[in-house]
Structure 1
Amino acid sequence: MKTIKRIFAVLVCLCVVCSCAVFAVSAAEATGSITIQNPSNSNATVAGKTFNVYKIFNATTSGNNTSYSWYTASNGDVPFKNFFFGDADGYNYLNKESGTVQEVVEKIALIGDNNNNTNNFELSQFAESLHDYIVDTGVPTYIDPIVASSTATSVNIPDLSYGYYLVYDDTDLGGTDTSVVRSAVMLSNVNKDAIISLKANRPQVLKQVEENNGTFGKGTSVNIGEVVTFKITTAVPSHTLYTNYQYFVEDTMHDGLELDASTIKVQKGEELLTKDTDYTLTLAQGAVDFKVDFTASMNIAGKFATGDPLIITYDAKVTSAIEAQTANQNIVKLTYSNDPTNDASTGSVSDSANVYSYQFVFTKFAQDTNGVLTNVRLSGAEFQLYRVVENQSDELVTFTEQPATNASGAAFTKYIVADNGSGTTDKLVVHGEGQASITLDHLNMGGHLGDVFIFGLAEGK
């Protein structure tokens, strides 16, 4: 039961972002139903919409246990197995030639889990990929299309056997385009007779930072003076019904990060885009560090296709203004047009990645004549700190010295890690004055006999 609960917690997040919908119907009874209703907070409507339903896999519960099996169509085909598993030329979402339904369940449970460096962008991309697979391979619908009347405020899909379902708004607008607002873009694990509000589709954006292992994720630890790389990812939305479609990204960094504007790179997939031709770049607008505007290109026919990935990368240096022991947020905001009848109407969505730096207090204690450590604090001792660099010689860390006081008013020297060996000293001197009346806790770090206070280190050795 733990897994299925986790799927619910994770996948319900997709209710507002994708162009297709996945549901899990409980196995507590023989059948369940899904009702899609108009929302109370937008003009999105089910009226006149056509919904197609696809079954991905079966779910059966017994007590607190849930088991899963592939859905098999009447012709013997297993429609979605090759989406998750297959050869290198297929979709192969799990990058394996073969596998089990349980592996699929576990993978879905990870999508959108912040602890696994994902967000609504990945959820929406996952659902888009599912729909692309349906179109490319001709997966048949599970039931006949559900067509809502022109005055409908809700649509009920009854008599669904237990399992996970994809519900997709396949409304034909005429010509070569389909619905721009792909209706109830939902991915959730729900109980019997689920009632879900229709949500308008909206673009998504993902902000990541290069982590210490070389991959991009949602957070990393840093040294003062270190250069870190950030990545922004979004995808071109369907916008053919707009006469002036706005689409731009604004990035705001923490004060402890210094942008290197020369490193800003903008790509469409693997293609490097050209500033002032494919996009415009504006630096330092108030609190915003930079803005990349795709609006002009969005309104040139054939310039950007729906689904094209747009990727922005850049470097920033960590300065002494970084805050210790907390998430230093780097925030991206994506603004986009949201009403084809009103050029000025926009919506926005944001995401962030964090950098962390740490401060430490080391205390020197004396040994007795037998070499046993005592609780006697030493004063005046000097030592140096080296950073272990993989496959290189250890690196001597240098510091700048800053006078400081702790919460109880005790004065001490704070040693701040310097940029690229540019510090004024490489010697750390143990504090020499006793402060016996001070309570030793996190509020009074530093300022005690035998203490050395260091700020600006990343995790590591």
Structure 2
Amino acid sequence: MKRMKRIMALMLAAIMMMAMSVTAFAAEGAGTHTLTVNAKGGQDLKGQTINLYKLFDVTESGTTESKNYAYTVNTATGYKDAIKSALGTSFTGTTDEEYAAAVFAIGSNDSTEVQKFANDFTTYALKNSLAATATSSKITESQTSYDFTGLDAGYYLVYVTGGKEIQSSLVTVDATTNTVNLKTEAPSIEKIADKTTVNIGDVVTYNVKGVIPDTTGYDQYQYIIHDELSTGLDFVNDTTGTALGAGATTVNVTVAFTDNSVTAAGTTPTVATLDTANNRKMSLDLSAWVRDNQANKGKEFTVTYYAKVNKDAVVTEKNNAKLEYGNNPSDTTTTTPSEAKTPTYPLDIKKINKKTSELLAGAKFSLYRIETDAKNGENAITVTGSNGNYVVDSASTTTEFESVGAIKGKGYNLHVNGLAAGDYWLVETQAPEGFNKLTDPIKVTITKTGDEEWTVKKNDVSEGDKIIDVENSTGSLLPSTGGRGAIAFAVIAAILVFGVAVSFIRDKRKEA
């Protein structure tokens, strides 16, 4: 019997130790949890600030198979009022249990009602400067997730500042839950050109698309579009290429909602500001316009402006627009630039002797966009340049370009830059001295195959090196009259005729 009592006492002690270990586990959970916050769809968190608001403290009990949770409202200043505001005027509870029960009763996970509660809490928190439980500060590196460490167990709201809209996330952080996926997106823009390839002299229309962000709760909100053209482009004021005036400080823009049925509020900007040190840089401050159009938040708008391709354009021609945004003017976020690429291509010609492959100088050519024009010698592409290097120039009257003996470091001896992808017809207008001129146009096809890749064909046959070989022939003199050979034959013929005549006279005398 004593032995049985001793065994029972040991079992009871063991059970008590296990119970204490469960309690101890719950206590040890305080300040030891990690929450991983994942950006929506793998977006970059660089430049973002993530705030955590702990609505409730959580106490866990029970085993892994059967856990119990007790919730108490965060006692930090303003939290009880924020939860009550988000629950709405119908909520009249006062105890922690009533607050927790009301939140529990809102709806199922990811329901519209739960999302509204989260967003309403965030709006109240922003308007009333509710102190966050934890904050990431501004994230300075490119990353798709962020870890909060040393957290107490609790029911948290996760909010990314300056988002396109308020879409906060709710999560219970405990020993088993440590990940949350953001629902909000950072503001972004997209720059699009109306042309995929260009000729020098073309006017490109650029459209930058954005969305009115939700600025609820912010006293200030910056929303500025910055654009920088490459050296091969110049800002102009319209589709016809009207140049900016001397010393211009602005360039024309058009701002409008994509949906024509949306009515814009406030004053819509009509010009962007040029950088005083570089007139290929401009900025368009839409901060006031965005705030004025909060009734249209979430609506897409488009900013339109124009640039003309100049003689410095190259195949790798690209330019970008980026967005600067945030609710703190002294600590804004700048998005990754959105690029619009408008490449222009060269026509490289290797003019050679067909027999020796020697490079030939002095061959002249004209280039046409239409085959019938090439055959008729009409509407040739105009160029400027010299010494084997030319660029397309719509303001020029010159339609011929001439090969040279060699261009240092190049495998060709004639270069024409500034052509869009497409079909062209190359006509030799003058052959090098002593060579025969080509009689038929050469079809040249330039095809864009990537942002910085292209192919070239000559008469529908690929030129792997992107160089058009143009061969000229020379040879023996063609038949002619009036040379020394003809005189010699005439003299010989005269001698023969004279001999025949003498023989005829002799024969006549003998007969007499």
TM-score, with length taken from structure 2: 0.44
User: RCO (CA 8 Å, sep 6+): is it higher in 1 or 2?
Assistant: 1
Rg comparison, structure with higher value: 2
TM-score, with length taken from structure 1: 0.49
